[in-house]
């Protein structure tokens, strides 16, 4: 039986793969877990936040019902960035936080992910325990069911978003007066908080995609669709463009020439800035196997070192916590400032980039140019099943042949998506045409070996 929790919570198409009945069971199971069997003590308080997609209120209500049925208190924050739930869960002393979001996925997908009382995502073993409780918390279960005054309550706390906004503002020790910024909110969870933050810092601000309808989240906008932002930055003569994804735990930027600043470039810029201030722990940045070769070269030149993990911000964070590193992240824009936040925070990342820009006195393109990216091509292959793909000899042979052709001048990385039925084929090297040929050759083999 497949594990309920994936690399970033429970995800699926709303009302098809992910049903409100499961959300109810997850809310109930989490409450049973976090009350630690002490049903006579204070009821656990669990914070729920969500992004702007259509199915969000449905899952929010189902989770709250599950929490109340186990005697917990459901605290509803409404639409709020994922890192806001992590911050507030810890600050307010809640037993757990739950986010209803499918991040950068289209509106018809949704997901449910948990944070512990310390503000960190739950480790696998805790998720597994909640999963066990979920399997036994359906209709007719024998678990604790409070009666009368011990039934839980629902409390709406939309003002908690302002607490998070104040926290993010407290991380900026500069003003943005005179700086022209274009902001793309992806019609998602940042649409209220980030415009308020940048305006209060004095930026000359143009805001794109801050009118969520429930179905327009991530729709040709945000950090996964940067073309409109690039055009707006150049057309308006802006100093910087900032883009978030649907739940605002990611940030990518665009320099004043319209060139993209991906997570590798942002990590490099912020890492150099922290080094200059003596705040980059052991002059080390943690990243994943997806980081560009140019990233490694730029950091080596700057006197910093890099530690590499598997793909996924949770693995970056695990390494950071184990070794007390202060900065890590992914090319996709998940960046973690360990001295500030317990998870990737797109809003804080944007402010850290802006701080580096202000303090350097340089243009964004100059900072962006400190790292030269090798051409990198990623092809996503829809498959019927990801199970056992790495054991198929045809795929392994295609990868070996591509690696032989690239030699020391490049690399190939083939991996399954953690959240979608995809096999991702990535190649990196100096020749774009060669990468295109090699990536699609491998992709064709994957399609044949793992048919829909």
Residues designated catalytic: 103
The helix-helix angle for 346-360 and 263-276 (nearest 10°) equals 60
Q: What is the dihedral of CA 333, 335, 340, 346, to 10 degrees?
A: 10
Separation of alpha carbons 189 and 217, rounded Å:
9
Q: Which residues pair with 309 in a beta bridge?
A: 288
**DSSP code of 188?**
T
CA separation, residue 356 to residues 86, 172, 173, 176, 275 (Å): 25, 11, 11, 12, 11
Query: How many beta carbons lie within 10 A of that of residue 61, not counting itself?
Result: 18
Helix (H, G, I), strand (E, B) or coil at 412: strand
Q: How far is CA 304 from CA 52, 323, 350, in A?
A: 39, 16, 22
SS3 category, 392: coil
Q: What is the dihedral of CA 368, 371, 377, 378, to 10 degrees?
A: -70
């Amino acid at each position: 039986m497949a594990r309920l929790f994936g690399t970033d919570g429970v995800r699926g198409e709303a009302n098809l793969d992910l049903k409100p009945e499961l959300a109810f069971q997850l809310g109930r199971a989490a409450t049973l877990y976090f009350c630690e069997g002490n049903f006579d003590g204070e009821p656990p308080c669990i914070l729920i936040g969500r992004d702007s997609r259509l199915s969000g209120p449905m899952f929010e209500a189902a989770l709250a019902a599950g929490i109340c049925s186990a005697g917990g208190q459901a605290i509803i924050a409404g639409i709020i960035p994922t890192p806001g739930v992590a911050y507030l869960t810890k600050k307010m002393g809640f037993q757990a936080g739950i986010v209803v979001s499918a991040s950068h996925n289209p509106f018809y997908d949704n997901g449910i992910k948990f944070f512990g009382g310390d503000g960190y995502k739950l480790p696998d073993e805790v998720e597994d325990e909640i999963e066990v409780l979920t399997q036994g918390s359906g209709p007719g279960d024998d678990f604790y069911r409070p009666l009368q005054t011990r039934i839980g309550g629902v409390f709406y706390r939309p003002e908690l978003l302002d607490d998070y906004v104040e926290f993010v503002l407290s991380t900026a020790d500069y003003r943005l007066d005179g700086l022209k910024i274009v902001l793309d909110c992806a019609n998602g969870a940042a649409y209220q908080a980030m415009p308020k933050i940048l305006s209060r810092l004095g930026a000359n601000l143009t805001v794109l995609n801050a009118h969520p309808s429930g179905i327009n989240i991530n729709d040709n906008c945000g950090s996964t669709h940067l073309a409109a932002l690039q055009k707006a930055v150049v057309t308006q003569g802006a100093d910087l463009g900032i883009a978030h994804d649907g739940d605002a735990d990611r940030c990518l930027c665009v320099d004043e020439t319209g060139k993209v600043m991906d997570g590798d470039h942002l990590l490099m810029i912020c890492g150099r800035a922290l080094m200059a201030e003596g705040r980059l722990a052991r002059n080390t940045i943690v990243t994943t196997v997806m980081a560009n070769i140019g990233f490694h070269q730029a950091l080596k030149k700057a006197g910093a070192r890099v530690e590499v993990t598997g793909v996924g911000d949770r693995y970056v964070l695990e390494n950071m916590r184990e070794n007390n590193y202060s900065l890590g992240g992914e090319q996709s824009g998940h960046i973690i400032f360990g001295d500030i936040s317990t998870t990737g925070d797109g809003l804080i990342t944007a402010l850290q980039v802006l701080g580096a820009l202000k303090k350097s006195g340089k243009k964004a393109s100059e900072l962006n140019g400190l790292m030269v990216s090798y051409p990198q091509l990623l092809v996503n292959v829809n498959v019927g099943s990801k199970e056992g793909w790495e054991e198929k000899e045809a795929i392994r042979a295609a990868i070996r042949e591509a690696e032989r052709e690239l030699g020391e001048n490049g690399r190939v990385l083939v991996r399954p998506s953690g959240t979608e039925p995809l096999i991702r084929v990535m190649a990196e090297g100096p020749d774009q045409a060669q990468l295109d040929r090699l990536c699609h050759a491998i992709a064709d083999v994957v399609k044949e070996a793992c048919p829909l």
